[in-house]
Amino acid sequence: MLKQEHGTVMLISLFFLICLFAFSSLVLLLGQGALVGMRTQQTADLITKGARAAGKWTKTNPETGETKSRLFATTQEAREQNASIIRGAREEAEKLFELNRDALEKTAHRVDITHQKGEKHFLYNQGIYHLEITVEQEALLLWETPIMKVRRVSQSELNR
């Protein structure tokens, strides 16, 4: 009689141990997703704010005192308009992405970035810099590795 109960307790203990590991795996999966999402959003925000600051040009009309702001995509475009900017917004965004690429690729399987909704030039004219980053990461579960896809969008516009 004692041997039968000992076997039953062992099976129940094993069942609860497996359930505990499965639950721990799901909690770790959620943590991995949150970390990737946070890194992706931080990178997207950093790039859009930097691109907006670098490509911004402000001109004040001396007669009316009216201030006009514009966002330039490239330094060449700004030179053609006789504007003085640090660097074009698109150029600055590329540079900032290259500097921050390692932080995303450290944990990501694949990183895709889309500037200005596919380079829609009217967004520059409106003073908006829009960026979308998509990151694919392999998540670690007990018995498989599904691919988790995180998409984050950031947009900055000029204060008028």
pLDDT at 117: 84
Per mean pLDDT, which of 31-35, 69-73, 117-121 is the most reliable?
A: 69-73
The H or E element spanning position 159 is none
Inside any domain, residue 127:
yes
Q: For residue 145, is it within any domain?
A: yes
* Span 13-39, average pLDDT: 84
- Specify the pLDDT at position 126: 85
CA distances from 156 to 8, 118, 130, 150, 152 (A): 62, 16, 7, 20, 14
Whether residue 10 lies inside any domain: the answer is no
Q: Please state the pTM of the whole predicted model.
A: 0.78
Q: For residue 43, tell me if it sits in a domain.
A: yes
- Asked whether residue 73 is assigned to any structural domain, the reply reads yes
- Say if 88 falls within a structural domain: yes
What is the number of structural domains in the chain? 1
Q: Is residue 4 part of a domain?
A: no
Where residue 159 falls among pLDDT bands split at 50, 70, 90? confident
Domain that holds residue 54: 36-157
For residue 95, what pLDDT is reported? 93
131 lies in a domain? yes
Long-range contacts of 117-124 (CB under 8 A, 24+ apart): 119/90, 121/73, 124/55, 124/70, 124/71, 124/72, 124/73, 124/89
Mean pLDDT to the nearest integer, 117-121: 78
Cβ proximity of 87 and 54 under 8 Å: yes
The answer on pLDDT for 1 being more than 60 is no
